Structure 1
Amino acid sequence: MTRRVLQVLGSSAGGVARHVAQVAAALAGAGDQVVVAGPSALAETVAPSAGGARFAAVEIADRPHASDLRAVSRLARLARDADAVHAHGLRAGALTVLAVRGRPGRRPRVVVTLHNLPVGGRAVRAVSAVLGRVVARGADVVLGVSGDLVALSRSQGARVAERALVPAPARPAPSRGTGETRAALGLASTDELVVTVARLAPQKGLDTLVRAASAAARTRPALRWVVAGDGPLRDQVEAAVRAASAPVTLLGRREDVADLLAAADVVASTAVWEGQPIAVQEALALGSAVVATDAGGTREVTGDAAVLVPVGDAEALGAAVAAVLADASRRDTLRQAARDRAARLPQLPDVLAQLETHYRG
């Protein structure tokens, strides 16, 4: 029998939207009738990749807004005939619980995936705690992209909570050789390339990155650290790079991420918190030598296939990058460990098997 599934997401910088599109396309390909509900601004990101799924605009803001009542009403209508409703994100999850739990009679299974740890000031944390309890007590299942999110949801009253599986969406293989990519970046043959793929946002620890680059350059003068990604902190990061005279170049948004990762001597993540970092998964799959902060679920992704340092410790991060750059044998060991680890990470069929269990209850 054909199953009817409603996928719900709120505002997204892109990673969550791509994951939802990936899941929606797989479910539709398996024969389910799938509707993806989310802000109209995400239609161009989700719809082209969602296969046979239909997109329905529901304006879910990233903070409390007068439009929330309309969103709850719209979600209630979309969920009326669904067998399962799967919301992604804390606000989308809370509004979905209110939409589905508030109606009489038969209701669909409700699954909520939490993709981020709430951060911010006291007011933000207080609101997030309320929404967390709504989700934990109202959803049939809560999935967290990292162990700390799972533990938080259980502490808030979730009956069933477990780690979500979020594999990296497929990217094209590198299209250029290492030498060509490095030449396009203006690097000399003796330069050492460190690559970070990250949105320029507070969660990514960019102040740590600038200080770590300066620290590493003290012993590795040929270091060149490039950052692929854009975001609201671009001007601030550029100012910090100039002030520190750090060997960091902001490349902006790039379509050749696979080429950059494949050409890197080291791939670095400086995040303050991560779930199952997509860029790190992509780096492992390409056999990169990875140095990262031990943030959120990063260790759950890398296992022993990366050098991990404490969050925010720029000196430790810079020293780790410099040490890996100085030791070709260690880089080779990390690259092989990365490929081995990537082969053991969950794939899309594992995601579908997990969701099958929870959608059917």
Structure 2
Amino acid sequence: MDGSKVALVLATSAGGVGRHVRSVADGLRERGAKVVVLGPASADELFGFTESGARFVPVEIADRPHPLGDVRAVARIRRLTRDADVVHAHGLRAGGLAALARLRTAPAPLRLGPAAPPLVVTLHNASIAGGLTGAAYATLERVVARGAAEVLAVSPDLEERMRALGARSVGLALVPAPATPPSPDLAPSHEPESSQDARPSQGTAAPSRAAAVPPEDHAAAKRIRAELGAGDAPLILTVARLADQKGLPTLLDAAAGWARLDPPALVVIAGDGPLEAGLRDRIAEENLPVRLLGHRTDVPALLAAADVAVLPSIWEGQPLIVQEVLRAGRPLVATRVGGVPVMVGDAALLVPPGDAGELERAVRRVLEDRALADRLASAAVERASRLPTEDDAVDQLLSVYDRVMRTVF
């Protein structure tokens, strides 16, 4: 791969996709590739491509269809990738526009330019939109399936969909959570506490934390609980963007049941997004035991403090937060969607999406059954040891790039 030119393309991203592309860019450069990243200027500000030493060229690709802006983006991608050895687009929007950029003219979907570089597309999300937006995304799926030399999907259902649409080659993407530097809050204490003193007793409603949380994490956990005013209450944590895909209305439905625990559980949601105002209004109107924390950078400390992590999403691929939960050795309750079952194996309780009753009962089981909580925590640690690494992801991509650059289609 030494000296090969790789163009990475991404659309507007607020989280996981941008972090993954940054990780890929860094890994490819370390292996000797010449990398250029094409994406919205906001992506460079959020993920620091230029600061890392990568070449970044702004190309405004919105997260939703924008006809005039999309035409401009296609032309710009075509011009900027003309001398690339391989183009790797991340996400359906970026992938669709990158596929169109390989064409001589848009009306001829199979007529490629004479020097069009091979295209790899990683699909990170399924579309849950309906109406005209949903139709536009379905069209982009067909464009990607027909225009990409390789499609990497983050979940088995996306793999199946791409194969059904006639994609040439489809594989499962590796999207590991970037390594998280140790938080100052999680540094070893000079006087580590015993596991029995890690936090106040919670009676019959609290799982044992000794199996998963090492002594050096106790100070961070106690600080977080004091900040939240959790007291002896079981602490339920969700880390998610406040958006439709994340299933947060179902979480609020279930929270009413957790309020009847003794002592009542406290639910905290770390993240921001477009649903914040509506969620905040509902929490106040129904007097739910839920707190919105906004964007947080201390997720490891939040996990150390939590009794159970919850992922109530309608759909997920390989969510980074699930990998963080597993690495932290915390009990997890998640929805049985997308790539989640393959990721977690037996290290989580899985429930149907949108079923508040099943979600409420599963979380209650973890909070009331110490043996179950300990089993899930131990299984999480074991599962985390088998998660792919950032090096694994780069190795996979180098193999894919080598294959598509040797293939004429």
Read off the aligned partner of 1:64 and give its amino acid letter: H
Match of 1:218 in 2: 260
Distance 1:48 1:66 in 2: 27
Match of 2:143 in 1: 134
| Unaligned ranges ≥5, structure 2 | 105-111, 186-218, 404-409
Q: CA deviation at 1:47?
A: 2.7
Match of 1:149 in 2: 158
Secondary structure of residue in 1 paired with 2:68: coil
Distance 1:49 1:155 in 2: 38
Q: CA deviation at 1:172?
A: 2.8
Match of 1:18 in 2: 19
Q: CA deviation at 1:174?
A: 4.4
Read off the aligned partner of 2:24 and give its amino acid letter: V
8 Å Cα contact 1:21-1:50 kept in structure 2:
no
8 Å Cα contact 1:212-1:315 kept in structure 2:
yes
TM-score by length of 2: 0.85
* 1:199 aligns to 2:241 (yes or no): yes
Q: CA deviation at 1:41?
A: 1.6
Distance 1:74 1:127 in 2: 21
Read off the aligned partner of 1:187 and give its amino acid letter: A
Read off the aligned partner of 1:167 and give its amino acid letter: P
Distance 1:138 1:322 in 2: 48
Identity among equivalent positions (%) equals 49
Distance 1:20 1:80 in 2: 21
Distance 1:13 1:301 in 2: 22
Match of 1:183 in 2: 226
Structure 1: 4+ residue segments shifted above 6 A: none
Residues 352/52 of structure 1: CA separation in 2 closer, same or farther (3 Å cut): same
Secondary structure of residue in 1 paired with 2:325: helix
Secondary structure of residue in 2 paired with 1:255: coil
Aligned length: 360
Where do residues 288-303 of structure 1 align in structure 2 (5 Å cutoff)? Answer: 288-303=330-345
Where do residues 8-47 of structure 1 align in structure 2 (5 Å cutoff)? Answer: 8-47=9-48
* 1:164 aligns to 2:173 (yes or no): yes
Distance 2:96 2:299 in 1: 34
Q: Deviations over 1:246-287 (max 9, x none)?
A: 110000011111100111100111111101011111010010
8 Å Cα contact 2:258-2:264 kept in structure 1:
no
Q: CA deviation at 1:236?
A: 0.6
Match of 2:269 in 1: 227
8 Å Cα contact 1:25-1:49 kept in structure 2:
no
Read off the aligned partner of 2:360 and give its amino acid letter: G
Q: CA deviation at 1:94?
A: 1.0
Q: Deviations over 1:90-130 (max 9, x none)?
A: 11111111112435323322100111111112322221111
Give 1 or 2 for the bigger CA radius of gyration: 2
Q: CA deviation at 1:235?
A: 0.8
Across the aligned residues of Structure 1 and Structure 2, the Cα RMSD in angstroms comes to 1.4
Secondary structure of residue in 1 paired with 2:120: strand
Match of 2:96 among 94, 97, 109: 94
Match of 1:248 in 2: 290
Distance 2:24 2:49 in 1: 13
8 Å Cα contact 2:16-2:319 kept in structure 1:
no
Secondary structure of residue in 2 paired with 1:351: helix
8 Å Cα contact 1:262-1:286 kept in structure 2:
yes
8 Å Cα contact 2:316-2:338 kept in structure 1:
yes
Q: CA deviation at 1:78?
A: 1.4
8 Å Cα contact 1:192-1:223 kept in structure 2:
yes
Q: CA deviation at 1:213?
A: 1.1
8 Å Cα contact 2:50-2:56 kept in structure 1:
no
